[in-house]
Amino acid sequence: MQVLGSLEELPQSYVTSLTELNLVPLWPSLRAVLPPEKPRPQTRPVFWRYHDIRPLLLQAGELTPIEKAERRVLVLANPGHGLEKMQASSCIYLGMQLLLPGEVAPPHRHTPNAVRMVVEGEDAYTTVNGEKCPMAKGDLILTPTGLWHEHRHDGDQPVIWLDVLDLPLVYYMEASFVEEGRDQEVTGLAREQLYHRGIAPTPLFQRSDARYPMLRYPWADARAALLQQAQVQAPGSAVQVSYINPETGGHCQNMLGFSALMVRAGENVRLPRRSAAQVFHLIEGAARVGIDSNRFELAESDTCCAPCFAEITISNSGSEPAFVFIADEAPVQQKLGLYSERA
Ligand code: GTQ
């Protein structure tokens, strides 16, 4: 391959005059920004155990009152990007959030899109533009860009959930900001029960805002869909369902994609190598996730991330079905024409 010139080969006085004029020679850095064949991701395979996070999160509950935190979150940060960047991958932010009984995480809205995957506890809820979204383990709740949201807790045990945001991307675009709001009036319950296996409310022309018609995806429904799918699908092939916008059939949010995967007892599935980074969070069971040369043993509520084009295998390492929640960067890559898969 062609060898390009380095910065050291240039006279220092020449480099200095360039620098003074805010100019940079491309050729010494050309292969860094356009690496051959595939990207050189900063995103590393990283594994976070819930067993490690939980006590530290509960300790945060003692150390920092909700009034001082606004959102009491420990961020799952990828050292490949630098911990201070608070990103799991180039586009994905992950945080474990704790809400204690009686607490309120006050209303706000922001440009990044967020979802919550509930990890433990009951009787907390998020209100999204007036719709009450109750939280139970495994439920997925959307708070898309620009929608008001606040979290409240009527129960008597801590509630913990995993936040997944496209914050790193929106921040990189210098488009990230928040507005504080007033407490919302609950105008109704989340309307997921309207959308039932392809049957939607009538008449079509009255459904004014189809951007985010469904804000809550109960785990019981996703789990049942996976069990049904598993009955008809050949062993060894990924049993996977996507969280979609039921009115358009497309991804439920603009930037990140969300899906759930079931790995049957004794089964080992291999995913295609994708141009999009992915996050795996175990909802139920036990699973060994292989990411290139790494092997992570996921117990319930553990989370790991994989860079683009990684070789990924997921094996059930228990005796019951394993259920994995997946977040990926495919929607934004597809919209920009950047998405690809390799064998
Ligand atoms: O719950 O609204 O983890 O605004 C980071 C930013 C959660 C939230 C996060 C947020 C939220």
| CB distance 80 to 305 below 8 Å | no
Q: How far apart are CA 18 and CA 25, in angstroms?
A: 8
Residue in 70, 76, 2 with CA at minimum distance from that of residue 43: 76
Of 73, 75, 96, which is best to mutate to test ligand 1, by the most ligand atoms within 8 angstroms of its C-beta?
73
| pLDDT tens for each residue of 279-292 | 999 999 999 999 99
Ligand 1 binding site (Cβ under 6 Å of any ligand atom) = 71, 73, 95, 97, 105, 110, 114, 149, 163, 165
Cα of 47 to ligand 1 centre, how many Å? 21
Question: pLDDT band for position 208 (50/70/90)?
Answer: low
Cα of 163 to ligand 1 centre, how many Å? 7
Q: Which atom of ligand 1 is nearest to the CA of 178?
A: 4
**What integer pLDDT is reported at residue 71 of this predicted model?**
97
Alpha-carbon distance values, 203 to 171, 206, 208 (Å): 39, 6, 11
Cα of 107 to ligand 1 centre, how many Å? 11
Q: What secondary structure, in 3-state letters, does 118-179 show?
A: EEECCCEEEEECCEEEECCCCCEEEECCCCCEEEEECCCCCEEEEEEECHHHHHHCCCCCEE
Q: Whose CA is nearest to atom 10 of ligand 1?
A: 71
Instruction: List the 268-271 sheet strands across, edge first.
Output: 268-271, 312-316, 287-291, 294-298
Side-chain half-sphere of 234: how many Cα atoms within 13 Å? 2
| CB distance 291 to 300 below 8 Å | no
Cα of 126 to ligand 1 centre, how many Å? 12
| pLDDT tens for each residue of 164-192 | 999 999 999 999 999 999 998 998 888 88
Judge residue 122's burial from the number of C-beta atoms within 10 Å of its C-beta, 0-12 exposed, 13-18 middle, 19 or more buried. middle
Residue 115 has pLDDT above 80, yes or no: yes
Side-chain half-sphere of 60: how many Cα atoms within 13 Å? 22
**What integer pLDDT is reported at residue 3 of this predicted model?**
85
Residue in 65, 161, 165 with CA at minimum distance from that of residue 120: 161
Q: How far apart are CA 267 and CA 149, in angstroms?
A: 39
Q: Which atom of ligand 1 is nearest to the CA of 105?
A: 1
Q: How far apart are CA 71 and CA 62, in angstroms?
A: 14
**What integer pLDDT is reported at residue 270 of this predicted model?**
96
Of 66, 70, 94, 97, which is best to mutate to test ligand 1, by the most ligand atoms within 8 angstroms of its C-beta?
97
187 or 114, which is more confident: 114
Containing 274, the helix (H) or strand (E) segment is: strand 273-274
| pLDDT tens for each residue of 132-153 | 999 999 999 999 999 999 999 9
294 or 246, which is more confident: 294
| pLDDT tens for each residue of 260-314 | 999 999 999 999 999 999 999 999 999 999 999 999 999 999 999 999 999 999 9
Residue 205 has pLDDT above 80, yes or no: no
Cα of 176 to ligand 1 centre, how many Å? 12
Cα of 160 to ligand 1 centre, how many Å? 13
**What integer pLDDT is reported at residue 271 of this predicted model?**
97
Of 53, 57, 66, 71, which is best to mutate to test ligand 1, by the most ligand atoms within 8 angstroms of its C-beta?
71
Alpha-carbon distance values, 112 to 163, 256, 319 (Å): 12, 11, 39
- Whole-prediction pTM value? 0.96
How much of the chain, in percent, has pLDDT values that exceed 70?
A: 98
Ordered by where they begin, the domains of the chain are 46-342 (2.60.120.10)
| pLDDT tens for each residue of 84-97 | 999 999 999 999 99
Task: Report how many helices (DSSP H) and strands (DSSP E) the chain contains, helices first.
Answer: 7, 24
| CB distance 115 to 140 below 8 Å | yes
Name the amino acid, one letter, at 121.
G
Cα of 93 to ligand 1 centre, how many Å? 10
